[in-house]
Structure formats: structure tokens, C-alpha cells
Amino acid sequence: MKSEKEIRETFRARLIELKGGRTNKELAAECNMSTCTVRDYVSGRRMPDVESLAIFAQHFGVSTDWLLGLTDVRKESNRSKYSWR
């Protein structure tokens, strides 16, 4: 199991990777967040709440588990593991 520090560092690194050349202000506008909030996530000062984590995952098309470093698979398959079919 990963430590909180490892998860925080992985999230920060992956967010920076996905952010690319965007400024914090641009990413904040795209995700409907404040610039200060995005800055805190990018700097590692703060971890996102569940809602913000889901917004980033959906915006970038990756899984929340990947963002947190809990898996190396960037995107979950479209088929749910709980599917009845």
C-alpha cells in the first residue's frame, strides 16, 4: 500500500504531466475551479477532494486510480467490472 506522501507526489507529477503547457489559470477555467485551488494541487500543497479528483479524471480522460498512482493503467475500460452482460 502506498503512503499518503507517495500518493500526493504521484498525483502532483501526473497532474503536471497532463497540464502540459497550460497555465494554472487556463486549467482552472477548463475545470471550473479557482486558480488558487489548481495552484495548490500543482504545487503539492493540497490534495483534491473526491469531486475535484473526478473532474480532473473526466477532463483528461484518465482514471482516478491512475491519477493517484494506484494503477499504471491510465484509463479504465468502458465495460464495468460489475456489468451484468
Closest to 48 in 3D by CA, of 18, 78, 76: 18
Q: Tell me which residue range forms the domain holding 43.
A: 4-67
Express each pLDDT in 3-29 by its tens digit: 999 999 999 999 999 999 999 999 999
* Tally of structural domains, the chain: 1
pLDDT for 85 equals 46
Express each pLDDT in 32-76 by its tens digit: 999 999 999 999 999 999 999 999 999 999 999 999 999 999 987
Q: Which residue has the cell 482552472?
A: 28
pLDDT for 1 equals 84
pTM score, two decimals?
Answer: 0.86
> Does residue 9 form part of some domain?
yes
> Does residue 48 form part of some domain?
yes
> Does residue 72 form part of some domain?
no
> Does residue 77 form part of some domain?
no
In order, the DSSP letters of 24-76 are HHHHHHHHT--HHHHHHHHHTS----HHHHHHHHHHHT--HHHHTTS-S-SS-
